[in-house]
Chains A and B, each alone.
Chain A
Amino acid sequence: VPSDDDLRAQLRALSIVSGFESTFLYPVPVEMVHACSYFCDALSPLWSIQPIDDIVLKTEGVPLSPALQVAIDWLVGHGLLVPSGVAYAKTARQTRLRADLTLNRALANRVLEAVEADEKLSRETSFVREVAAALAAMGPGAETRAVFHDANYQDPLAGMQSVLDLVPEEGRSSATQSVLRSFSALARTAMGSELSESELTALYTRHLQSLVAAQESP
């Protein structure tokens, strides 16, 4: 019987692939699914949702979540996700299988419709969908650059192979949370507006997009 944590990871993976369905980056590379989950975790305190991974190891590439990968494997094994382009991916440290993923709508719809009917879960799905769409807009292969430019990853105090705390204890903030607070304060003082979670998420991902684009520009 899957645990609550297993179920949350499975729903997260399914929501992410579903989020990419209405973008041009579909089938979605599994590395992008991991990158999307990383950003969802970094933004999770804003939405008051439980992260899949509250700490990650800072490496040169996209942080691969073991919990999420187990969930993806389970969803593929049970036919809810369909892999294509399966290949070996070699890095300096390991060789692993990678694939591009699509939804098997016939099976996944039952889960996604149940999620839509639940106010709390559908709110989380909506958030995941926005993050997925923002990452998709950065184009194929942008997942590594997106993570590299992320506020947490850019923290000059955190070197490679250090542990990033995405959801610090009360009284402390991650770099992402500090950025979100800055956006809130700027909007309040300059424009007299209180920004919603979805607006702060959009601003965070748009800023990330601009950093990725600036790096790509000649």
Chain B
Amino acid sequence: VSAAGESWDESALAETLKDSFGAGSDVDMPDEIRFLHGVAKLGRRYFQDCEDDERGLSVFILHPDRPGELGRPTEYVPMLRNGRQSLSKRIWLTTHRVNESFAVDMGADESDGDVWTYVKDELGFGDLPTVVVDSRDGKTVSHFYPGGLNKPQLEEERDLTLATIDRDSLYEAINSIYMDDLKTPDAQGEANNVWANAARGFPSDKAEKFVQRVLKVGLTRAFPDFVIRPEQPQSEGRTDLEIEQQFADDPTSVTRHFILEIKVLRESSDTGKTKYGLGDTEDAIRKGLGQAVVYRDNKPARDAVVCSFDTRKDYSGAAVYDFIRDEAVDKAIALWVWHLFNSSEEMRKRLMAGEAIGGEQAC
């Protein structure tokens, strides 16, 4: 028993850790991504074991203000995460923490179209970020509408029963993040981005941190019921990103699906005073491969990948890995690379030359 009394003793704390593993790992993310992450975790946990008559449509709306008159009976639910509430056939108005919420019942004979119309036209919430969890027909799927139900073209569908992530789906997710948020300074969209001086091609000394943060947010969006964890210390160093998931059958255990080692390849320092050659690039990649092998084996994790983001003018694609490809294949580490253009104009030149934009896989 701790000095704090029995309610704070280790067995009670272990229960909380089991129930809330991963909580707080998303505080540095935008509210709508935390909202998606919270709904996905809640939906996965609730629907994995529920009875068939508990299944149905659940509509979650990010609405952090106390609602006014909604035209239907409304129930205040302060602790949605405790699992005591039936999630289905209800519209949930909740915060980014997906706990304190207001519930509005859907009518028994209401169609999906009726629900959409009620949310958009009667409630006037069609522009608010919304996650619809559809647990009918034995599946559990989330549909994320970041621009609300009024913008169905932005819908992102995710299977909440995924027990694993394979290389193809991870590569596809990172490629999508690259296309949306990384490929050019315009896409990066922030003053403190990959570049210290984009016009002169000088990458920032904090470029890896920026890429790590963008990938963390993007991967949480792509795999919302998994935990994306940065900077896990080991005796040999720190992993850049880990993708992990609690066992459904044994929540005290965690599966680590991937270790991601992130490298920003550069030909100069942030001031341009120090130049780096091919030998430096190969050293950085060799170091990344070594880290990926050791971290994967020590954790242990199921798989590991070296993700390089190449800022060099002489971008060579996957050929940058030629000197080490065989070793990576032998050690079962994936090697992927993306080109970070220092301007949109440079990217357009590549497109005009008929070249594709996107990642390349060496192995």
Q: Which residues of A contact B (CB under 8 A)?
A: 22-24, 26, 126, 130, 133-134, 136-139, 149, 151-152, 154-157, 175-176, 178-179, 182-183, 186-187, 190-196, 198-203, 206-207, 209-211, 213
Contact = CB atoms under 8 A, between A and B. Distances in A.
B13 A199 contact: no
Interface in B79-120: 79, 82, 95-97, 99-100, 102
- CB-CB nearest 8 A-B residue pairs: A202-B24, A151-B4, A199-B24, A202-B23, A175-B4, A198-B24, A198-B27, A22-B64
Contact of A201 (B7, B24, B252, B254): B24
Given A182-B13, A183-B16, A203-B13, 9 more contacts: A23-B64, A137-B100, A138-B78, A157-B3, A178-B4, A192-B254, A194-B232, A199-B25, A201-B24
A41 B107 CA distance: 47
Interface string B113-129: 00000000000000000
Nearest to B79: A213
B18 to A, nearest CB: 8
Given A137-B79, A190-B17, A207 B24 contact: no
Contacts of A157: 3
27 contacts: A23-B95, A23-B100, A24-B64, A24-B65, A24-B102, A134-B97, A136-B100, A137-B97, A137-B99, A139-B100, A151-B4, A154-B7, A156-B5, A157-B3, A175-B2, A178-B4, A179-B2, A183-B17, A187-B17, A191-B253, A193-B232, A198-B25, A198-B27, A202-B24, A206-B23, A207-B12, A213-B79
A173 to B, nearest CB: 9
A124 to B, nearest CB: 13
A149 B31 CA distance: 29
Contact of A24 (B13, B82, B100, B256): B100
B299 interface: yes
Contacts of A200: 24
Given A24-B100, A133-B97, A152 B4 contact: yes
Contact of B95 (A133, A138, A198, A211): A133
B120 to A, nearest CB: 23
Contacts of A199: 22-25
A202 B25 CA distance: 9
A203 B17 contact: yes
B166 interface: no
B95 A22 contact: yes
A168 B85 CA distance: 42
Contact of A126 (B16, B27, B254, B299): B27
B233 A194 contact: yes
B286 interface: no
Interface residues of B, number: 45
A138 B95 CA distance: 14
B25 A24 contact: no
A179 B13 contact: yes
A195 B233 CA distance: 10
Contacts of B232: 193-194
Contacts of A203: 13, 16-17, 20, 23-24
A178 B25 contact: no
B273 interface: no
Contact of B10 (A134, A138, A182): A182
Contact of B66 (A26, A151, A175): A26
B132 to A, nearest CB: 22
Contact of A190 (B14, B28, B231): B14
Contacts of B23: 199, 202-203, 206
A138 B5 CA distance: 21
Contact of A178 (B3, B14, B102): B3
B4 A179 contact: yes
A178 B4 CA distance: 9
Contacts of B17: 183, 186-187, 190-191, 203
Contacts of B28: 126, 198
B13 A207 contact: yes
A176 B8 CA distance: 10
Nearest to A21: B64
B7 A186 contact: no
Contacts of B12: 207
B229 interface: yes
Contacts of A24: 64-66, 76, 95, 100, 102
Contacts of A191: 17, 21, 252-254
Nearest to B78: A139
Contact of B8 (A22, A154, A202, A209): A154
A203 B20 CA distance: 7
Interface centre among A193, A203, A211, A213 (most CB of B within 10 A): A193
Contacts of B10: 182, 186
B3 A155 contact: yes
Contacts of A178: 2-4
B16 A149 contact: no
Contacts of A137: 78-79, 97, 99-100
A178 B100 CA distance: 28
Nearest to A201: B24
Nearest to B230: A196
